[in-house]
Structure 1
Amino acid sequence: MPKACPRCGEPRILAPECPRCGVLYAKAEARAARLAPRPAPAQPATPALEPREPAPYSYAEPERPPHLPPEGLAWDGDLEDARLELRMRQFALPVALVVAWLLVNSPVGGRLVRIFLSMWIHELGHAVTAWFCGFSAIPGPWFTRISETRSTFVFLLLATSLGGLILRGAFTQRRSLVIAGATGLVLQFVGTGVLSLSKAIQLFTFGGDAGCLVLGSLLMATVYAPRDSALRRGWLHWGYLVIGAASFMDAFSQWWAARSDFERIPFGENEGVGLSDPSTLADVYGWSETELVQRYTWLGLACLAALAVLYTVGLLRARAELRALEHVPGTVGPPAPSFDAR
């Protein structure tokens, strides 16, 4: 077994993918085997033949005209992947947000987005916030069942899962997993050990549309995961992008419009469930309309700012990777045509 990654030279670890470049070892080894120079087969010695006159219809291959560009090298897969990655990072996120905004602001499209996409992320937002506050929660269609008291089992299960994420990140030398696990443990400590019962209930009530904003942004961010990561295998990131953009824009457009029209706030009751989230926060816990609108819109703007930073960094990295590949011998594509001005 080789001691280094075939692609970047990083020392290998006991994992299927390289911690530095993210490439699968099996895929990189197969590619290195294909690109390895093969020895030319030995030519049997043949006796010298006397020159013969050419056949009547044989002809020599014509020389390439001097005004034509030289023939380029064979197209390289890594270079093509880098170009596709750059185009994806240029257009995927902005196009997804614009299309989602058009859908949620149309009568039929908005209803379909709410039923099939954003409603599920909304309920998952309630559940995830409740888990971080120590409550057991089961998300379902249009309603999330949440326990009335904190659960030790839920606390230990979530803490163990986050600790395992940190260990996996340390074992595979992936800093992003370590940061995600550590951040989750801090949030769990705040939600379970710092917040009172009343504050925790307010937080996971607020976490419905807040989940559409935060979880929707995280789903959209999967398009910036490494190409060989699990989030990018099987084209799943395109589905995550669609779900995330639709969920984010459904919640954000509603609360952004409510800045100038409080009638857009969904006060009232949900059939068979009880008060809606804004009514619970306003009538039970005393949140004003201004506080509701400001807190949701500020959270949405913060998510958009984080996506803008991620978009810029991802675009710069994709361009740098493409420029580096274009300067590697043997990975340049067909040269641009040149014309001799006469």
Structure 2
Amino acid sequence: MKSPSLLERAKDGDAAAIAALLSSSLKAQGIAVRADRESYCLSLWFTGNNTVPPQGPMVAYARRAIDRIQPPTIGILNLYGEQTGFAQPAWHEEVALLSLPSADAEAVSLPLDTPTAAPPQGEPLNPSGLPELEPAPVAIARAYEELGLALGEPLAHVEAVYFKRRAELLRKGDRAAIEPLKWAFTTLKTYLEQPQTDEVATSDLAMADIATVSRSGSVKRSRPSTPLGPAQPNAPDDTDILAFDNRYSNGLIFPALLLAGMVMNALPIVNALLWGIKIWIHEFGHATVAWLAGRRAIPLPIGWTSVDPRRSLFVYLGILVLLGLLYWAGRREQKRWPMGLAIALAIVQFVMTWLLPADTFDMLLSFGGVGGEIYLSALLMVSFYFPLPNYFRWDFYRFPAVLGAAFCFWGQVWLWQQVPRGKAAIPFGSLWGEADHGDMNQLINVHGWTPGDIIGTYSAIAHLCLLGIFAVYGYTLFRQHREFFIALGRQWLP
């Protein structure tokens, strides 16, 4: 009996045969494919030799391949992109094949599409090495439907409807509903701006949907999933001022807020009216030390923080639960930095609660007031660039938070610039007028610090935080304007 061919085995749903067909087609691109099948679910790993295969072209290529092979018993594709030598895949997308159209015999007999011929001279090269993919007609129809428009509306009307509906959702605070609109707008904009060589047939618009299936089993329209890594969008959204990848917010508004905080410090009346912001951050500096060390603390905006020096298991577990929720929310939304922050703070909390001597805790508690005005303010400012889980609404509150933090931060930077020059004094005493019972007094009288130690420590922390702020700002500018800076360097550097 004649053994079935590789294509016949692939059409029967043989995972190894499908992987062999795809590997032979992608071999010229340096991409190997391996497959595994469990029931009606087929998993495909695209492994690049020197780089991670691009997600969008690979997903579209896999869909087209399965469309041509037509295995009748495969309902879900799990697609992974990885690089040789790395243990974890760089991206993952799950695709459900609800009812792919039947492929004719001629299409099945053809080899899978691969970029075998070099493009004519003068044509732009596709950096991914894969054929350029136009949006599928079904995606165009879905995008029009998402925006509530009739099929074939021009780009000007699409833009008007998108911006109007987005503004309404922003006023309502429903940012989650903006994502489908953004996807629809981007899809239609790409489709309508490219040259149209063939008219979209009505039969094409009736093609069966390819949908992304969530883990809960619900079905959603397919669109590229988020890579398993830091959020670095390929197309910055400069139309949404609250977006974390908005280049105007990151490049102009952030330094404007820092400058506004500096000006607020220079105006005596504003400084006096907003003095409470500095007091509260000062008290939170004390309280954060106490909380991380497992002590009860209540910061009050009247220049006083009530601290219980005894360890509290309730406080320790409560903070640990909050850090666990932060980690869980970051993992759910695939934001790595909240996960890393939660782990780091949990380690610091364990050390400070169970390993830190009592006298060291007392010293850090005294140090944390003025220190908190410096490093807590700096952390608030640089967190402008780091998205928190959506329910925090950090995309909005980061603007006033950075302004208040900058107001407090520049006050301390200016103070510790003036103290070594003899133009300002170390802030001995307390807000309540007790000249011998302030934080600086505690550091000197109880913990053996000298005035030089105080000046040197706080000045060094202020300069390090200032350097960190500029480093984060510079890195963000370079990341979002990489091509500009590279071109500038090539022009001016030998």
What TM-score does the superposition give when structure 2 sets the normalisation length? 0.49
Aligned partner (choices 276, 279, 304) of residue 441 of structure 2:
279
CA distance in 1, matches of 2:323, 2:451: 36
CA distance in 2, matches of 1:276, 1:235: 36
CA distance in 2, matches of 1:153, 1:197: 19
Aligned partner (choices 284, 291, 297) of residue 124 of structure 1:
284
1:310: how far off? Answer: 0.8
1:312 equivalent to 2:474? Answer yes
SS in 2 for 1:147: strand
1:165 equivalent to 2:247? Answer no
Identity %: 26
Which residue in the other structure is 2:421 paired with? 260
Asked if structure 1 preserves the Cα contact closer than 8 Å seen for 2:377 and 2:406, the reply is yes
Deviation digits for residues 260-310 of structure 1 (CA, Å, limit 9, x no counterpart)? 228521112442777111112112222111111111111111211211121
CA distance in 1, matches of 2:353, 2:423: 33
CA distance in 2, matches of 1:234, 1:164: 19
Which residue in the other structure is 1:63 paired with? none
Q: Which has the higher contact order (CA 8 A, sep 6+)?
A: 1
CA distance in 2, matches of 1:26, 1:321: 32
Summarize the Cα distance change of 1:231–1:241 in structure 2 as closer, same or farther, 3 Å threshold: farther
CA distance in 2, matches of 1:285, 1:228: 40
> What amino acid does structure 1 have at the position aligned with 2:93?
P
SS in 1 for 2:378: helix
Asked if structure 1 preserves the Cα contact closer than 8 Å seen for 2:251 and 2:477, the reply is yes
Going by fraction, where is strand more abundant, 1 or 2? 2
Which residue in the other structure is 2:402 paired with? 241
1:28 equivalent to 2:176? Answer no
Summarize the Cα distance change of 1:114–1:242 in structure 2 as closer, same or farther, 3 Å threshold: same
Structure 2 gap ranges (5+) = 1-75, 79-90, 96-174, 193-198, 203-234, 486-494
Structure 1 gap ranges (5+) = 14-23, 43-75, 324-342
Aligned partner (choices 70, 88, 101) of residue 249 of structure 2:
88
1:11 equivalent to 2:79? Answer no
Aligned partner (choices 348, 360, 363) of residue 199 of structure 1:
360
Deviation digits for residues 97-130 of structure 1 (CA, Å, limit 9, x no counterpart)? 3332333244333323323x11111111110111
Asked if structure 1 preserves the Cα contact closer than 8 Å seen for 2:261 and 2:410, the reply is yes
Aligned partner (choices 240, 260, 279) of residue 99 of structure 1:
260
Which residue in the other structure is 1:212 paired with? 373
The alignment of Structure 1 onto Structure 2 pairs a total of residues equal to: 276
Aligned partner (choices 275, 283, 292) of residue 114 of structure 1:
275
Going by fraction, where is helix more abundant, 1 or 2? 1
Summarize the Cα distance change of 1:28–1:145 in structure 2 as closer, same or farther, 3 Å threshold: same
Asked if structure 2 preserves the Cα contact closer than 8 Å seen for 1:268 and 1:276, the reply is yes
Summarize the Cα distance change of 1:238–1:265 in structure 2 as closer, same or farther, 3 Å threshold: same
Which residue in the other structure is 1:179 paired with? 340
> What amino acid does structure 1 have at the position aligned with 2:461?
L
